[in-house]
Amino acid sequence: MTVLALSRLQFAVATYFHFLFVPLTLGLSLLVAILETIYVRSGDEDYKRAAKFWGKLFLINFAIGVVTGITLEFQFGTNWSRYSAFVGDVFGSLLAVEATVAFFLESTFVAVWFFGWKKLSPKAHAATIWLVAIASNVSAFWILVANAWMQHPVGFAVRNGRAELTDFFAVITQKFALLEFIHTVGSAYILSGFFMVGISAWHLLRGHEVSFFKKSFRVAIAFALIFSLFEILQGHMNAEILGSAQPTKFAAMESHWETARAVPLNLVQWPDSAHERNSVQALPIPRLLSLLATYDPNGEVKGLRDYAAEDRPPVLPVFLSFRIMVGLGFLFLALTAWAWFKRDSIERSPLLLKALIWSIPLPYIAVQTGWTLAELGRQPWIVYGLMRTSDAVSPLAVSQVAVSAAAFILVYSLLGAADFYLLFKYARKGPAPATA
């Protein structure tokens, strides 16, 4: 394998592993804040126990997520030094804000929340977890803005062979960045809701702490239902901006080859990249692809044949990632709607409880396929239209990158195993007993 292939493999492994932890941190911090707020307002001790129980799972996930995130950022200097040299003025400034403001705020108040149960008033203590939740999501904002700049670079000028920041406000307010943040955070909230719902369902199926877990279940299922619906409604906005900002990605995810107007959306199709066509194409919905891409049923949609083969992303994995993500999104809406209507008697619906337990991994698959679509669909560019991935890699020996890639895979596998073991252990154990 080449240095480029090994560096891409190493970064992909690090990113996939890191994003096992990030979505749960974003959503679970908010859910714990909601549970503790209900306790403060109602005085119901079950909600205090719930905040402590789910908070313990949040802390396990947060701690390991921090480790994987730090090592991920180091790779920009070790494996992608040419990229860092070219865009460091823009990309580095965004990550610096994230680290010096949001991450330190989040880390500080996590400690205050963990140690402050007996030292702070209930309202002050609840405020600390809200600060953690806000800081976590602000941290995600800065990181996603940095990624969005790679997807759609704005607010810069190339001088002396480097991309230099010229309009910071344009970078952080561009539509691409805002939509990427909203969509990614929405998926994180769905994942966290399913996590809480699935664990609650496991205990309810066994008759453990029924009253306690029904309260957690009701909060989480409402949360998951709201964001499952939101994610579907918001998703079409991403299609429209991809159609204009990243037409090759849009064409690949829809396996659209010929530029045309009034383009239908085929419900069944299969790409044949070797012959630049679809080997299967059936059940078209007239004009729908044009409507999604341009908000105009007669709008023009660019096809992959308009671009040289070396400027196109790999079609099949992008096409499949998009369909898996969207298909799971509709499944999440159906499951959460079903569970919402059954919420008051959920303990008497064993089939639904089992379905919810087995659904815990599905949002993880959805967010990973979403990132596959975002990152693989951008290829062959590391900064879309500005810098190719092949030009961004560090001048290293194959042996050096092979050793570091193997080490990353080993260490991240151990961290992932530790995280899921601890989550499984304490999730099964359940909450601390109620005090008299």
Query: Which positions ≥6 away from 397 have C-beta within 8 Å?
Result: 3
Residue 355: pLDDT band by 50, 70, 90 thresholds? Answer: very high
Give the pLDDT of residue 435: 67
Taking the model in full, what pTM does it have?
0.91
CA-closest candidate to residue 280, choices 297, 290, 292, 268: 268
Within 13 Å of residue 426, how many CA atoms lie on the same side as its CB? 19
> What is the spatial distance between Cα 321 and Cα 249, in angstroms, rounded to a whole number?
12
Residues 243/301, Cβ–Cβ less than 8 Å: yes
Q: Once rounded to an integer, what is the mean pLDDT over residues 267-295?
A: 86
What's the chain's length in residues? 436
Residues 399/20, Cβ–Cβ less than 8 Å: no
Residue type, 245: A
pLDDT tens, residue by residue, 188-207 = 999 999 999 999 999 999 88
> What is the spatial distance between Cα 324 and Cα 332, in angstroms, rounded to a whole number?
12
> What is the spatial distance between Cα 411 and Cα 121, in angstroms, rounded to a whole number?
41
Give the whole-number percent of the chain exceeding pLDDT 90.
Answer: 27
pLDDT tens, residue by residue, 233-266 = 888 777 778 777 888 998 898 888 888 888 888 8
Q: Once rounded to an integer, what is the mean pLDDT over residues 353-374?
A: 92
pLDDT tens, residue by residue, 406-415 = 888 888 888 8
Residues 257/305, Cβ–Cβ less than 8 Å: yes
Residue type, 6: L
Task: Among 11-15, 57-61, 164-168, name the one with the lowest average pLDDT.
Answer: 11-15
Dihedral sign from CA coordinates of 115, 116, 118, 122: negative
Give the whole-number percent of the chain exceeding pLDDT 70.
Answer: 100
| pLDDT above 90 for 359 | yes
> What is the spatial distance between Cα 291 and Cα 289, in angstroms, rounded to a whole number?
5
Residues 426/57, Cβ–Cβ less than 8 Å: yes
Residue type, 352: L
> What is the spatial distance between Cα 139 and Cα 120, in angstroms, rounded to a whole number?
26
| pLDDT above 90 for 15 | no
| pLDDT above 70 for 80 | yes
Q: Give the chain's mean pLDDT.
A: 87
Residue 53: pLDDT band by 50, 70, 90 thresholds? Answer: very high
| pLDDT above 60 for 166 | yes
Give the pLDDT of residue 263: 86
3-state secondary structure the chain: CCHHHHHHHHHHHHHHHHHHHHHHHHHHHHHHHHHHHHHHHHCCHHHHHHHHHHHHHHHHHHHHHHHHHHHHHHHHHHCCHHHHHHHHHHHHHHHHHHHHHHHHHHHHHHHHHHHCCCCCCHHHHHHHHHHHHHHHHHHHHHHHHHHHHHHCCCCEEEECCEEEECCHHHHHHCHHHHHHHHHHHHHHHHHHHHHHHHHHHHHHHCCCCHHHHHHHHHHHHHHHHHHHHHHHHHHHHHHHHHHHHCHHHHHHHCCCCCCEECCCEEEEEEEEHHHCEEEEEEEEECCHHHHHHHCCCCCEECCHHHCCHHHCCCHHHHHHHHHHHHHHHHHHHHHHHHHHHCHHHHHHCHHHHHHHHHCCHHHHHHHHHHHHHHHHCCCCEEECCCEEHHHCCCCCCHHHHHHHHHHHHHHHHHHHHHHHHHHHHHHHHCCCCCCC
pLDDT tens, residue by residue, 172-193 = 898 888 998 999 999 999 999 9
Residues 171/165, Cβ–Cβ less than 8 Å: yes
Stronger pLDDT, 67 or 306, i.e. the higher one: 306
Residues 322/373, Cβ–Cβ less than 8 Å: yes
Tell me the chain's radius of gyration from C-alpha atoms.
Answer: 23
Query: Which positions ≥6 away from 413 have C-beta within 8 Å?
Result: none
Give the pLDDT of residue 436: 44
Q: Once rounded to an integer, what is the mean pLDDT over residues 133-139?
A: 88
CA-closest candidate to residue 181, choices 113, 89, 102: 102
pLDDT tens, residue by residue, 83-132 = 888 888 888 788 777 777 777 788 788 888 888 888 888 899 899 999 99
Tokens describing residue 168:
């910071």
